Amino acid sequence: MQPPLRDFPADRVRLLPGLGRIDYSDLANPFQQRAGLVRTYLMSLDSAKLLRAFTFEAGIFAPGDPAPSGKRHGGWEALDSQLRGHFLGHWLSAAARLVATTGDAELRAKAEGIVGRLGSLQRENGGEWVFSIPEKYLHRIADGKPMWAPHYTVHKTLMGLLDAYRYLRSEQALETVVNAARWFHRWTGRFSRSELDDILDHETGGMLEVWAELYGITGDEAHLELVRRYDRPRLFDRLLAGEDPLTNRHANTTVPEVLGAARAFEVTGEERWRRVVEEYWRCAVADRGYFATGGQSSYEMWTPPYEFAARLGTRTQEHCTVHNMMRLADVLLRWTGDPAYADYIERNLYNGILAQQHPRTGMAAYYLPLRPGATKQWGTATDSFWCCYGTMVQAHTLHNAYAYYGHDGGVAVCQYIPSTLRFAREGREGREVELSQRPDPQVGTHIAASGDRGAVRRPGRWAIELSVRADGPADFELGLRVPWWVSGPVTLTVNGEPQPVKPGPGLVGVRRTWREDTVRLELPRSLRAEALPDRPEAVAFMDGPVVLAGLCEEERQLVGDPDRPEALLAPDEERDPFAWRGSYRARGQDRGLRFVPLHEVEDEPYAVYFPVRPRH
C-alpha cells in the first residue's frame, strides 16, 4: 500500500521552459506557456469592470455619475445576468495562486486592490453582504421561486477571498468572509432540515467547501454549524447506500458538493464525509467510465454507465467538470497515494485542460465536442465569461500543484511537467534539496560538442531527465510514476547506473543518499486504439496519454485492424529543427486523413472516434 501524500506550498514549485537552454517560442513548456496566457488575460481585465456588479449591488452609483470608460463586460457578467459577478471570484483564486507561485508583484497589487474594494463595498452594504447579486435571490429560492444559482455565484466570491487569504495572507480577505458568514448563519438558522434540503437542491456550488475551509481556519463553532447545514443528504445518503444518483443529473452541480465533503473530512476527521467522496468516485468514474479524453458529461449531464455512443455531440465534456474532477482525483491521490489517480489527472490535463484552452489566444471552450466533424467553439475576452472561463483561469495555475507530492519517506513525481521543486529534508541536519525535471527532446543539436544527432526517427518513448541537488547528503526516497500507457520495459538510471523497475504501472522508488545526482527515466509508448464500450468497432487513437484528432468534416470509416493501430497510422511531419512532432497520417485508406494531438486543434473540424472495419 502506498503512503498518503501531501502537496507542497505553491512557492516551492516553479514551472520551467521545456527544452533547457533553447528558448524557442512554440517549443516552450506547454504548461508554462498556458499559465502565461492566463496571467496576460487576468492583467488585461479592468478591475472596475470586474467589480461593476458588486458596486451596483452596493448601491453607490449616484445619479449623474459618468459612465465607466470603455466597453462593459458582457455575457454572464452583464448586469442583466443572474450570475453577474461570478467570474471575479475565479479571478481572485487564479491571481492569488499565480502570485504565490511566481511572486508576481504587479498581479499581487491588482489582487490586493480588488480585495480592498470588496471590503469597502461590504461596509457600504451594511457590513455583511459582499456579493454581486441581491439578497432577495436567496430569499426567492427559499420561497420556491425560480432563480439561476445564487449560491453558485456567491460561492465564487467567498472562495476567491479565501484563496486571497491562503496564498496572499490577506487578513482583510478573511475578515470579509467571516463577516459574510454571519449573514448565512443567521439566514440558514430559519429553516428546518427539510427546508434546507429544498433550498440546497438549487445548485449550491462549493458552499460546503467554503464553510469547511473557513472552519479549518477559524475553528469557530458557528462555521462548523454552517458545514452541517450545507450537508447534502439527498445526494450523499444515496451514494452511501450504493445507489446511482448521478445518471442524467447535472454533473458539475454535484462535483463541487463532493469536494466540500472532502474538505469537511479533512477539517473534522468524520469518516462519513470520506465515505461520501469514495462512493462518489465509484459512481462517477469506476462504475461509469469516461471518454478516451478522460472527461465525461453530455449536455452537462452524467451519461449512463458505459453508454457513450449515443451521447457524442457538440456539447460533450464540460470544462468545469474536467477541472473539478481533477481536483477530486488530487484529493484521493493525497489520501491514498494510489498513482492511478495521477494517471486520471494526466489524461485530463492533455485532453481536457490543454484541449479546451486556445493555444494562442488563451480563450476557453465551454465544451469539447466529440461529434465527428465538429469544431471547438471559443469564447471572447470580454463578452463570454461562462462558468468554464472561471475554471479555465484556475486550472492553468495548478499545473505545478500536480507535479510533486511529499510523504514521510521522500518525494513522489506524479506528473512529468518541466519544473523545479525546492524542499527541506527533515532531520538532524535538515538539507535543502532542489529537484528539477525536463524532457529530453531526443533530437540532438548541431552545436553539441559530442556531435550527437539524437534519434533517427520519432522516438517511441518519453525520456525525462531529473537532477537532484542537495546542500549536503540527503537521504530520501524519490518516487517516479510509471503511467498506465507504457508499452514495454521501463528504463531507469541514476548517474548512468541501471535501477530495478517492476513491470506494470505504479510508483517506482529509489532510496539513497542524494547530493549531486542525475536520474533518467525512459517510458516506452506506442499507438493504441481505445474503443467506445457500447460501440466497440469505433475507436479513438492515443499516443501515450495524448488523444489524436483526425482532421475531417464528417465521420470517416477506416479499414484495418484496430489492435494494430501502427498499421493504420504512420508518422507525418514528424520533425522540426528542435523537436519531434506528434502528427500522423492514415495509411492504406481510400482517402487521406491527418491526425494531430487533440490539444493542438484550434479551429479545424475534427473527429476523435472512428469506426474501423476489417480488411477483406
Q: What are the tens digits of pLDDT across the range 577-613?
A: 777 889 999 999 999 999 999 999 999 999 999 999 9
At 21 the pLDDT is: 37
C-alpha grid cell for residue 7?
Answer: 502537496
SS3 (DSSP) at 119: helix
Q: Which of 286, 320, 323 is nearest to 305 (CA)?
A: 286
**C-alpha cell recorded at residue 423:** 524542499
Q: Where are the domain boundaries for CATH 1.50.10 in the chain?
A: 28-59+82-311+383-402
Task: Identify the H or E element spanning 404.
Answer: strand 404-407
Give residue-wise pLDDT tens across range 566-584: 999 999 998 887 778 899 9
On the question of pLDDT at 112 being above 50, the answer is: yes
User: What is the percent of the chain where pLDDT is above 90?
Assistant: 88
Q: Which of 133, 131, 37, 18 minimizes the C-alpha distance to 82?
A: 133
Query: Mean pLDDT across the stretch 113-118?
Result: 98
Residue with cell 513522489: 412
Q: Quick one: pLDDT at residue 427?
A: 53
pLDDT in tens, 175-213: 999 999 999 999 999 999 999 999 999 999 999 999 999
Residue 28 has pLDDT above 60, yes or no: no
Element (H, E) at 436: strand 431-439
Instruction: Please give the Cα distance from 103 to 88 (Å, whole number).
Output: 21
State phi, psi for 320 to the nearest 5 degrees.
Answer: -55, -40
Topology at the third CATH level for domain 406-524: Immunoglobulin-like (2.60.40)
**Backbone dihedral region of 504: left (phi > 0), alpha (psi from -120 to 50 degrees) or beta?**
left
Mean pLDDT across the chain: 93
Rounded Cα distance, 377 and 368, in Å? 8
| Angle formed at CA 235 by CA 245 and CA 257, multiple of 5 degrees | 115
Q: pLDDT band for 447, please (50, 70, 90 cuts).
A: very low
Indicate whether 24 pLDDT > 70: no
Length of the chain: 616
Q: What is the pLDDT of residue 27?
A: 41
Q: What is the pLDDT of residues 325-355, one digit of tens each?
A: 999 999 999 999 999 999 999 999 999 999 9
DSSP strand pairing (419-425 vs 527-532): unpaired
- Please choose, from the candidates 156, 584, 601, 138, the residue with its C-alpha nearest in 3D space to the C-alpha of residue 365: 601
User: Phi/psi at 423 (nearest 5 deg)?
Assistant: -150, 160
Domain with CATH 2.60.40 in the chain: 406-524
CATH class label, 28-59+82-311+383-402: mainly alpha
Do 527 and 563 contact (CB within 8 A), yes or no? no
Between 439 and 597, the higher pLDDT residue: 597
The pairing of strands 461-482 and 410-413 is parallel
Kindly report the backbone phi and psi dihedral angles of residue 336, in degrees, each rounded to the nearest multiple of 5, phi listed first.
-110, -25
